[in-house]
């Protein structure tokens, strides 16, 4: 039996965003993002069904538009960027709407499920073929050893355990 040739698609970081949202004091939402990341998809065809997605983000590139908070997130209280410089994700299955895969933060790997909108394929003005996806999901940061916590005098939790993930990803066919 012949093995089908798989197509590699590389993540286009200039047209992609990796963001997270977390409740602050349970009354407002703080958004953050990673500015340095890479990824690729290995797909049998343009439906991307059962394609293999791989992704990693550089922890040092985290930004919440607040230097003190970013420094705290990179510290041992949270990501410990010096010891664990990357967050990674590798898919195990993708049915066109749900993606299941292993996310690794610090040295902890957990299975996560993401809701994925496949936005289609288009050729850009340079003749490159692009594919777009939007993936969303939720994780509990404490599952990954991001345990730092504080409570205000009024009893409000400073940082929620639940983190929303939002990835807008554009890939270029190789």
pLDDT band at 156 (very low <50, low <70, confident <90, very high): confident
Whether residue 1 is contained in a domain is answered as: no
Whether residue 2 is contained in a domain is answered as: no
The domain containing residue 99 runs over which residues?
7-173
pTM (whole model) above 0.85: yes
3-class SS string, 22-91:
EEECCCEEEEEEECCEEEEEEECCCCCCCCEEEEEEEHHHEECCCHHHHHHHHCCCCCCCCCCCEEEEEE
What pLDDT does 151 receive?
Answer: 77
What pLDDT does 1 receive?
Answer: 55
Q: What is the mean pLDDT of the chain?
A: 93
Instruction: Report helix, strand or coil for 131.
Output: strand
Whether residue 15 is contained in a domain is answered as: yes
pLDDT band at 159 (very low <50, low <70, confident <90, very high): confident
Question: Residue 134 gets which letter from DSSP?
Answer: E
115-150 pLDDT, tens per residue?
999 999 999 999 999 999 999 999 999 999 998 887
What pLDDT does 174 receive?
Answer: 97
Which tokens sit at 108?
A: 């902890």
Which tokens sit at 166?
A: 């939002």
Question: Residue 125 gets which letter from DSSP?
Answer: T
Q: How many domains is the chain built from?
A: 1
CATH number reported for the structural domain that contains residue 166 in this entry? 2.40.128.110
Q: What is the mean pLDDT of residues 22-51?
A: 93
- With a pLDDT cut of 70, the percent of the chain lying above it is 98
The answer on pLDDT for 3 being more than 70 is no
Are 173 and 130 in contact by the 8 Å Cβ rule? The answer is: yes
């Amino acid at each position: 039996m012949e093995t089908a040739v798989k197509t590699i698609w590389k993540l286009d970081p200039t047209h992609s965003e990796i963001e997270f949202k977390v409740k602050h004091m349970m009354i407002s939402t703080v958004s953050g993002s990673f500015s340095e990341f890479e990824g690729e998809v290995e797909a049998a065809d343009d439906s991307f069904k059962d394609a293999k997605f791989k992704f990693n983000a550089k922890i040092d590139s985290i930004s919440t538009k607040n230097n003190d908070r970013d420094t705290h997130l990179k510290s041992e209280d949270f990501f410990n960027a010096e010891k664990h410089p990357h967050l990674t994700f590798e898919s195990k299955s993708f049915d066109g709407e749900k993606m299941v895969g292993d996310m690794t933060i610090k040295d902890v790997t957990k299975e996560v499920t993401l809701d994925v909108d496949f936005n289609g394929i288009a050729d850009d003005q340079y003749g490159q073929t692009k594919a777009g996806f939007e993936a969303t999901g939720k994780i509990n940061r404490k599952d990954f050893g991001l345990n730092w916590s504080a409570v205000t005098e009024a009893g409000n939790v400073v940082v929620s355990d639940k983190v929303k993930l939002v990835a807008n990803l554009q890939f270029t066919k190789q």
